[in-house]
Amino acid sequence: MKLPRNTIRRLSHYLRCLDILDLKGVQLVKSRELACMCRVSDSLVRRDLSYFGDFGKKGVGYNLPELRERILQIMGLDKVRKVVLCGVGNIGTALLRYPFKERNFEIMAAFDTDPKKIGMVINGIRVYPAEKTSELTSELGVEIGIIAVPPEAAQKTADLLVEGGIEGILSFALIPIEPKKDVVIQYVEIATELEILSFEIEERKRRR
């Protein structure tokens, strides 16, 4: 069964709401509460969760720790995933400080081509020369590579990561990349999203 992409995205949102409710000491959560926090309909929450079997009790709601644990399992977030980061610019540096560990992602190493950055340790993570990418990725058994290099360097970086045996890539580079092997790719294109926003604003003005 192929799950809708948006269901997966919402599972991630539900998880975040469950975190917030958990901190408040909530033990039982109703689909209505999750729906309200995530700004979707009640029935959508129930449908999303029903893909994974029978979680809740009618009228009582879901046991929060159980539901949380189950979603973590489904998303593969219940075990440590090793990550490397390529490109230690502004965004790369912010990512080294990002609390990915809360979801079991462990950044093992960072890579850059700038000799001034090589050897630096940011938030406990050491920066290695970019040419070590494949070797270290493979040695450390890394599953995910984050690409935060300029667009011109994105493809080469992806090739090095794939050579190192990576399973998935999260790319912040502002251009599509083509992996040499069949790996999963997700994009986060900050400038592109802002440019699309600009287009939409302009379109609305044209229509007014």
Q: What is the contact surface with its own copies in residues (CB under 8 A)?
A: 5, 8-9, 11-13, 15-17, 20, 37-40, 74-77, 81, 90-91, 93-95, 97-98, 100, 103, 105, 143-144, 146, 151-152, 167-170, 174-178, 184, 186-205
Q: Which is nearer to its own copies, 15 or 140 (CB)?
A: 15
Q: How far is the CB of 177 from its own copies (least distance, A)?
A: 7
Q: How far apart are CA 131 and CA 148, in angstroms?
A: 15
CB-wise, 43 or 192, nearer to its own copies?
Answer: 192
Smallest distance, its own copies to C-beta of residue 48, A: 13
| Least Å from the CB of residue 6 to its own copies | 10
Q: Are 55 and 64 in contact (CB under 8 A)?
A: no
Counting other chains too, the contacts that 15-22 makes at CB distance below 8 Å and 24 or more residues apart are 15/68, 15/71, 15/72, 15/75, 15/77, 18/64, 18/67, 18/68, 18/71, 19/68, 21/64, 22/64, 22/65, 22/68
Nearer to its own copies, 6 or 50 (CB): 6
Q: How far is the CB of 51 from its own copies (least distance, A)?
A: 12
* Distance between CA atoms of residues 101 and 8, nearest Å: 20
Spatial CB neighbours of 46, under 8 Å, sequence gap ≥ 6: 31, 56
Nearest CA-CA partner of 161 in 174, 179, 187, 188: 179
CB 83 within 8 A of CB 143: yes
Nearer to its own copies, 38 or 120 (CB): 38
Distance of alpha carbon 174 from alpha carbon 191, whole angstroms: 7
DSSP 79: S
Kindly tell me which of 131 and 202 has the beta carbon lying closer to its own copies: 202
Nearer CB in complex with its own copies: 135/199: 199
Q: How far is the CB of 102 from its own copies (least distance, A)?
A: 8
Beta strand 62-63 pairing with 28-29 = antiparallel
Closest separation in Å from C-beta 114 to its own copies: 16
Paired residues of 184 in beta bridges: 168
